[in-house]
Amino acid sequence: MTLPIAWAAAREAVFAAGSAAAPGPVPVPLAASDGLTLAAPLVTLTDLPAFPTSSVDGWAARGPAPWRIVGRVLAGNRAEPLDEDGTCVEIATGGMVPRGTTAIVRVEDSTTTDGAVTGEPRRLPDWRRQGEEAAAGEELLPAGIPVTPGVIGLAASCGYDELSCRPAPRAALLVFGDELLTAGTPGAGRVRDALGPSLPSWLRRAGAQVVHERGPVADTLEDHVAALRGAIDAGAQLICTTGGTMHGPVDHLHPALAELGAQYVVNTVAVRPGFPMLVARLPGGQFVAGLPGNPQSTFVALVSLVLPLLAGLSGRPLPTLGTVTLGADVPGRGDFTHLALVTLAGGRALPVAHVGSAMLRGLANSVGFAVIPPGAEGREGTVAQMVPLLDGERS
Ligand SMILES: Nc1nc2c(c(=O)[nH]1)N[C@H]1C(S)=C(S)[C@@H](COP(=O)(O)OP(=O)(O)OC[C@H]3O[C@@H](n4cnc5c(N)ncnc54)[C@H](O)[C@@H]3O)O[C@H]1N2
Ligand code: MOO
């Protein structure tokens, strides 16, 4: 029997294995880069703004009032210099401020009579200086962060047409189990497959591209091996399987991995629930994440092993753990780490009910898992680490 590896060490081991196998950067058009990982720091190609820019609709004037109107600058026009005191141009928000401008007066603060403008500029200048946000060549974002709509917008502002990105890891999902129903109400020994419909969404939110899904796969060794081969043929770099991680009469994952020549990166983890989880590597370099069949344990394995592995494979840092103050005692699990589902009330973490490893009711009502380390008890009022469940944002 293999000895389980400590939970924190398991996260680090799979992250390191994923990082060592991460594919190199590829150029991706901006609009297609959402959710990928920035492969190089974002360095601005221009001053931001690239030219002095009016932040109001009004008059760009030179010298003391009154100012004779000599032209107009709309956003998008190149501005001619203002060469003479006592002159101004009408200017729109976003318009390039002419060289020689000494003040900008808002339209609502001005009076125009016979082609001449008078008015008071505001105390704070109503234009943005060239380079006030960033100077050309300045590093604005580090490598290894997820590309979000905000990052894409910033990159466009800086003059980029494409971004150097790590591609999204290609993932497959194989759901094992003869007892699984894919539609209708469970009963008479059959349960609904809770993982086939939910895990692809989870994988996508975690930054993976799901290239292959199969299930329920029949509980025979032959079918398990064939299903794994199918996922390899579909080009998956990471094959997630559910169920069959133990050594019962119809648990075939370990023998299937042996038949394919896989090597374990991590084989069982000292965490409750979910300890039979594993990550193995196939001779072709693909990873297999073996997630236990009990549905809450499946999610424990996702946050414990699959998230760090995906982070490594996509050139991101090991996901950091948050912290939270416990609003009630949370029991430890002896020598094992306890991942305890919690919800937040008044900024404190409270354990939820219905947290059996076969249940999802507690999980669906939680924000994450409080981490109770081996040999410890979670005491009300103390600070614990926390693994968040994925929300609408990619993590
Ligand atoms: N003799 C022992 N038996 C078990 C132990 C043990 O220590 N000694 N550990 C238990 C623990 S802990 C877990 S976790 C499970 C892991 O089992 P498997 O990964 O082999 O999964 P299965 O046996 O295939 O299924 C377990 C359970 O989960 C249900 N299941 C499976 N897939 C799904 C799905 N897609 N949707 C909903 N429910 C699913 C399945 O029907 C079983 O009830 O082993 C324990 N046994
Ligand atoms: O891994 Mo099992 O109980 O811990 O579901």
pLDDT in tens, 241-269: 999 999 989 899 999 999 999 999 999 99
Distance 273 CA to ligand 2 centre (A): 4
Looking at the domain 5-23+167-313, which fold is it? Molybdenum Cofactor Biosythetic Enzyme; Chain A (3.40.980)
**Confidence at 394, pLDDT banded by 50, 70, 90:** very low
Distance 244 CA to ligand 1 centre (A): 7
Per-residue pLDDT, 240:
98
Radius of gyration of the chain (CA): 29
Per-residue pLDDT, 1:
62
How far apart are the C-alpha atoms of 299 and 320, rounded to whole Å?
18
Ligand minimally distant from the alpha carbon of residue 1: 1
Ligand 1 binding site (Cβ under 6 Å of any ligand atom): 175, 177, 179-180, 191, 193-195, 242-246, 248, 251, 276, 292-295, 297, 357-358
pLDDT at 41 over 80: yes
CATH (residue range 322-388): 2.40.340.10
State the Cα angle at 22 between 19 and 24, rounded to 5°.
135
Tens digit of pLDDT for each residue in 142-198?
999 999 999 999 999 999 999 999 999 999 999 999 999 999 999 999 999 999 999
Per-residue pLDDT, 2:
73
| Distance from the Cα of residue 346 to its chain's centroid | 26
Per-residue pLDDT, 3:
84
How far apart are the C-alpha atoms of 321 and 81, rounded to whole Å?
55
Query: Residue 293 carries which side chain, given as an amino acid letter?
Result: G
pLDDT at 392 over 70: no
Instruction: Enter the ipTM.
Output: 0.98
Domain ranges of the chain: 5-23+167-313, 26-47+132-166, 53-128, 322-388
Distance 358 CA to ligand 1 centre (A): 8
Tens digit of pLDDT for each residue in 72-85?
999 898 999 999 99
Write down the CATH superfamily of domain 53-128: Molybdopterin biosynthesis moea protein, domain 3. (2.170.190.11)
Average model confidence (pLDDT) for the chain? 96
Which residue, among 140, 137, 138, 109, has the nearest Cα to 123 in the 3D structure? 109
pLDDT at 393 over 60: no
pLDDT at 354 over 70: yes
Tell me the average pLDDT across 355-383.
97
- The domain over range 26-47+132-166 is classified in CATH as 3.90.105.10: yes
Q: What percent of the chain has pLDDT above 70?
A: 98
Ligand 2 binding site (Cβ under 6 Å of any ligand atom): 272-276, 292, 294, 297, 357
96: left (phi over 0), alpha (psi -120 to 50) or beta: beta
pLDDT at 215 over 60: yes
Find the farthest-apart pair of alpha carbons in the chain and give their distance in angstroms, rounded: 96
CB 358 within 8 A of CB 294: yes
Query: How many C-beta atoms surround the C-beta of residue 84 within 10 A?
Result: 12
